[in-house]
Structures are given as structure tokens and as C-alpha cells.
């Protein structure tokens, strides 16, 4: 059982913890060259500057790499009307609407503030999903705006990357010093650099796991909010299945900003590939094709795999089957009359 307060506390705790871990790394590195007090001060300034820089330039990078085009008023009247209707119901500012020419079915929100948020949809989403399913996706994305998820993800995503860059740089510096230094102090310096690199790698792994846990949690909250906002959890279930299957067929490398998407393309490929390897097992009507319902049932069966449970630690999103199961529980509450605004997040 969860509430919105739990999400806010988890966000705050994760940000503080990731910042503190990264600050410790910068302090260790700085103290290697400077005195401890100066190293701590340098670490504080460095960590703050990196997070601020990511906050300022992150939305610009997302917009450019996604090749977005902002929609003119009236260009897509249905989409504009539906987003406006749901945003008003959610009591949040109407986000700007943008379109990506990407043929895969996906959507995401980004920005620095709720008032300055952009809701972007892929061309493939509008082509492959019906209007009710698209409404479920819109509700999910507006849930991210309501919870300010995209702001947190934008800032926190920089820390693991910087830790990784530091680890690689220091490690190669240590190796180079070891090869060229001979003996004595140079060898000691090389050894210390390698130790620092190992610590940086540990920080990279730990901060990555913390950030991924937060992104998975926010997806579940957004799913639950969509169910409340649209009152149609079944449509989001269907949309998630279509999106996962559509993404699994997409060629090319996954987008670098996939943590923002409603579905992670790389994760969708893995989920569906594992199911397709056992196609005969899940093709219940023996027609040679997995229908959406058969795919949902297969995803539910795959949830019992211990390997998949362990692999979840490194996922940006909860497995599609877990999201579908949660939405079904919410649907049961709705049908029984127990689903109200006060318990929107009880199934997260």
C-alpha cells in the first residue's frame, strides 16, 4: 500500500542519498590532490554544479536528440482537446505538445517545471493505437507532470554518468602511470589512482541502481494515476501491450533518453524476445500468431522467472506484465466501487 507522500519521500531520500554518495567520491578525489577541507569544499561545488548543469541543459538535449517538432494550435485538434481535458481534470497546466517522426509507439514528457513541461508523442503511437489507448497513455504522461517526475529524473541521471567517466579516466591514468613510472612514489601514485577508480566504479553502480529504482517506482505511480484520471485502466493495459510489442520489432539502437519513455525499447525487446522463444507454449489458439491477450498471459507467466526478478534491478521500467497486473487490480477495485481518489496508489 502506498500514497503520493511515499513517492515524494522516496524521491527526496534518493536525491539526497545519490548526492551524498557522489559528494563523497568527489571529496576523495579532491583530497587526493588537495587537503581534506579543500577537497570537501571542491566536492560540494562540483556536485552542485553538475546537477545544476543537467537541470539546465537536460531538456534541450532531449528535445534535440528526439527531433521534436512543436505542434501549432489546431494542428491535431483531437490530441489537443484530449490533453487539455485531462490536464484540466488533473489540475495541472496544459503542457506544450510536440511530435517526433519516430515510427515506434512511444510518448514522454520533459521540462524544467510543470508550467514549462512538454508532452511529446511519437508518430508511431498515433498510428498504432486507438483513441482510448492513446488517452490511457496521455493520462500516464500527465501523471508524470502531476508528480514532477521528469524534473527529478533529469537531475539525477547525470550522477551515474559522471561517476562512470571519472572511473574510466582515473583507471586509465593509474594504468598509464604504472607503465611509465617505474618504482617508488610513481608506483604508489598509480596504485592510489586505481583504488580511486574502483571506488568510482562502485559509486557508478550504486547510484545507477538507486536511480533505476526511482524511475521504476515513478512509472507505477503514473500508471495508477492514469487509471484514476481516465477511469479506463483496461485501455492502458492494451496500450502497454501494443507498445511493448511494437518496440520489440523496432530496428536500431534504443534512444539514450529511454528512461523518459512510457516503455523502454531495450527492455521491450528483451521481454518479447524471451516470450517469442517459447511461442508454441503461449500460442493457445495455435494460429501461429500471439494475440495481444496471449502476449499479456505470457508476460504474466514470465513473472515467475527468478532470472527476470533479478534482472529487474537494472531496468528503467517495471516489467510490462507487472504493470498490467497492477492495472487489473485497480480495475477490480473500480468494478467493486472501492477505487476512490484517496486510494489511487494503494496497489503500487
**Residues annotated catalytic, as ranges:** 141
Structural contact between residues 22 and 203, judged by C-beta atoms closer than 8 angstroms: yes
- Scanning 157-278, the segments in alpha helix (DSSP H) are 158-181, 185-230, 233-248, 265-276
d(CA 12, CA 296) in angstroms, rounded, equals 34
Beta bridge partners of 100: 122
d(CA 125, CA 137) in angstroms, rounded, equals 9
158-181 vs 149-156: helix crossing angle, rounded to 10: 10
d(CA 86, CA 80) in angstroms, rounded, equals 10
d(CA 96, CA 130) in angstroms, rounded, equals 22
Structural contact between residues 53 and 112, judged by C-beta atoms closer than 8 angstroms: no
Handedness of CA 314, 320, 321, 323 (dihedral sign): positive
Single out the residue of 144, 99, 145, 108 nearest to residue 126, CA to CA: 99
d(CA 175, CA 76) in angstroms, rounded, equals 57
For residue 100, the surrounding DSSP H or E stretch is strand 96-100
Contacts of 47 (CB under 8 A, 6+ apart): 19, 22, 23, 26
Q: What Cα–Cα distance (Å) separates residue 201 from each residue in 15, 22, 48, 51, 161?
A: 19, 11, 20, 19, 10
d(CA 329, CA 114) in angstroms, rounded, equals 30
Amino acid at each position: 500500500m502506498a500514497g503520493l507522500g511515499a513517492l515524494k519521500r522516496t524521491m527526496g531520500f534518493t536525491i539526497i542519498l545519490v548526492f551524498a554518495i557522489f559528494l563523497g567520491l568527489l571529496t576523495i578525489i579532491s583530497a587526493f590532490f588537495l587537503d581534506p577541507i579543500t577537497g570537501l569544499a571542491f566536492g560540494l561545488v562540483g556536485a552542485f554544479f553538475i546537477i545544476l548543469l543537467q537541470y539546465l541543459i537536460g531538456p534541450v538535449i532531449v528535445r534535440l536528440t528526439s527531433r521534436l517538432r512543436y505542434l501549432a494550435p489546431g494542428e491535431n485538434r483531437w490530441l489537443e482537446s484530449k490533453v487539455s481535458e485531462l490536464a484540466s481534470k488533473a489540475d495541472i497546466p496544459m503542457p506544450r505538445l510536440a511530435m517526433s517522426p519516430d515510427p515506434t509507439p512511444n510518448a514522454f514528457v520533459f521540462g524544467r517545471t510543470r508550467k514549462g513541461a512538454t508532452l511529446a508523442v511519437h508518430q508511431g503511437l498515433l498510428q498504432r493505437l486507438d483513441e482510448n489507448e492513446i488517452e490511457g497513455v496521455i493520462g500516464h504522461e500527465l501523471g508524470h507532470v502531476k508528480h514532477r517526475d521528469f524534473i527529478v529524473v533529469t537531475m539525477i541521471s547525470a550522477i551515474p554518468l559522471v561517476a562512470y567517466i571519472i572511473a574510466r579516466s582515473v583507471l586509465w591514468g593509474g594504468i598509464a602511470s604504472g607503465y611509465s613510472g617505474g618504482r617508488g612514489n610513481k608506483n604508489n601514485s598509480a596504485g592510489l589512482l586505481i583504488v580511486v577508480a574502483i571506488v568510482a566504479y562502485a559509486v557508478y553502480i550504486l547510484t545507477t541502481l538507486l536511480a533505476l529504482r526511482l524511475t521504476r517506482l515513478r512509472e507505477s505511480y503514473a500508471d495508477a494515476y492514469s487509471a484514476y484520471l481516465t477511469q479506463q485502466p483496461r485501455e492502458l493495459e492494451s496500450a502497454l501491450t501494443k507498445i511493448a510489442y511494437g518496440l520489440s520489432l523496432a530496428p536500431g539502437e534504443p534512444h539514450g533518453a529511454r528512461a523518459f519513455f512510457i516503455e523502454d525499447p531495450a527492455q521491450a525487446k528483451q521481454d518479447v524476445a524471451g516470450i517469442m522463444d517459447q511461442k508454441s507454449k503461449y500460442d493457445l489458439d495455435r494460429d501461429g500468431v500471439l494475440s495481444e491477450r496471449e502476449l499479456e498471459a505470457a508476460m504474466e507467466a514470465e513473472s515467475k522467472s527468478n532470472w527476470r526478478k533479478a534482472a529487474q534491478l537494472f531496468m528503467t521500467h517495471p516489467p510490462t506484465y507487472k504493470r498490467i497486473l497492477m492495472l487489473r487490480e485497480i480495475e477490480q477495485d473500480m468494478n467493486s466501487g472501492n477505487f476512490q481518489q484517496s486510494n489511487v496508489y494503494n496497489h503500487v
